[in-house]
Structure 1
Amino acid sequence: MHQPATPAAGVTPARDLSLSQWEAITRQALSTARDTGPDAALAGYEQALSIARQLFVAPPPGRADDCVAALVVSCHNLADLHVEHGDTDTAATYLCRAHESLIALILDADRTASQRQAALRHSRETHLALIAHVAHYGPHPLVTRVLRMGCLALNVDGPTRH
């Protein structure tokens, strides 16, 4: 499973209680998955994703990268859990949600430059996770659509001419 992002140096937990809560819940869910099994961790992973979505929409000042990472880690943890249960379709859905969220953020001119840059950095990870999913489990129509959408959205010059 994916480990939570380590908070940036010099930031006190009291300043961003929600990010601290996300990290604590994620660590507890990881521990539960190790000790008790993935079924027991599902509620914790879902709670962490709920917090991560809120942080993704409204990150505390100076924490955009950590909040984007929290969303990606949460989606990937849930995807990993579903893969462990043999549910690769639901896993693909979580991986796609993460990538779609990042692409939307990159393209949202109303968001700050730091948020958009964080999304661009983390979109490499989500893109590779989608490719790895296809490599391990075969083609999936949702993954294909999301990869195509991401590539088209980020190709600002239009189609490449040869």
Structure 2
Amino acid sequence: MHHRQIADLAPDAPVAESPSLPLWETAMRQAVTAERDRQTALARAGYERALSIARCLIDAPPAGRTDDCLAALVVSYHNYADLRVADGDPNAAAPLLCRAHETLIALSLDAGRPMPLRRAALHHSRETYVALIRHLARHGPHPLITRAIADADAALHGTSAARH
């Protein structure tokens, strides 16, 4: 795939090719290369494409690859967030980190999902939780992160999160 095609994709653009882990790996590799080469717009588009592919993979993971698909989702969100921080905008990274965590918590609690996916989502949510805490430690308080942590805690432990 040409770099230009990646750059033309919107964040939630449908994936033209059938989503697969190799397709995700290609998109991620291109985004990382673009980021390393300081081609920020191209890197952003690549991470958005990788996220789009990863989201599709979560809906229909290949047999025996559920954990890999969830890892792809987390890596996509976290690399994209890291790019936003590197661009000097840690506030733009916070929603990405929150979405990663919130998605995994929702998947882990979704009784309509297969148990292996639910277990893997809960397992990976530890990593997204650490990323949220690390972001707070490095960049100070952020209301979205505070709320995401409280909401996840309430959802996982059956308490109600007070929202004001």
TM-score, with length taken from structure 2: 0.82
Deviations 1:72-126 (A, max 9, x none): 0000011001001111111000000000000000100010111011101100000
C-alpha distance in 2 between matches for 1:47 and 1:40: 10
State the match for 1:127 in structure 2. 129
Secondary structure of 1:153's counterpart equals: helix
The question of 1:152 aligning with 2:118 is answered: no
Mapping of 1:138-149 within 5 angstroms?
138-149=140-151
C-alpha distance in 2 between matches for 1:56 and 1:138: 32
Count of aligned pairs between the two proteins: 143
Mapping of 1:1-162 within 5 angstroms?
18-156=20-158, 158=159
Deviations 1:104-161 (A, max 9, x none): 00100010111011101100000000000011111100000000011111114x59xx
Unaligned 5+ segments in structure 2 are 1-17
C-alpha distance in 1 between matches for 2:105 and 2:146: 15
CA separation of 1:17/1:48 partners in 2, compared to 1, >3 Å: closer, same or farther? closer
Which gives a bigger RCO, structure 1 or 2 (Cα 8 Å, sep 6+)?
1
TM-score, with length taken from structure 1: 0.83
Identity, in percent, stands at 57
C-alpha distance in 2 between matches for 1:40 and 1:17: 20
Shift of 1:38: 3.3
C-alpha distance in 2 between matches for 1:119 and 1:53: 13
Unaligned 5+ segments in structure 1 are 1-15
Tell me the C-alpha RMSD between the 2 structures. Answer: 1.6
C-alpha distance in 2 between matches for 1:36 and 1:138: 26
C-alpha distance in 1 between matches for 2:69 and 2:76: 11
Shift of 1:17: 6.1
Letter in 2 for 1:49: L
